Amino acid sequence: MRGRRRGGAARAPDPVAPTRAAGLGGGAGAQTGGAGPPEPTEGQRRSLLATWGGAIRARVARALRRPAGARASGEVWLTLTVDRQGALLAVWVSGPSGNAALDRAALDAVRRAGRFPPAPAALDGASHVFDLPVR
Least confident of 40-49, 71-80, 89-98: 71-80
Decide if pLDDT at 9 tops 50.
no
The kind and range of the H/E element at 58 are: helix 42-63
What structural domains and CATH numbers belong to the chain?
Answer: 2-8+39-134 (3.30.1150.10)
pLDDT digits (tens, 9 = 90+) for 56-65: 999 999 999 9
Mean of the pLDDT values across residues 11-38?
41
Q: Is the dihedral of CA 109, 111, 114, 115 positive or negative?
A: positive
Per the confidence metrics, is the pTM higher than 0.85? Answer: no
d(CA 52, CA 42): 15
Q: Which residues pair with 128 in a beta bridge?
A: 5, 82
d(CA 104, CA 111): 11
Percentages helix, strand, coil for the chain (3-state, rounded to 5) are 30, 20, 50
Q: Which of 1-15, 25-39, 79-93 has the highest mean pLDDT?
A: 79-93
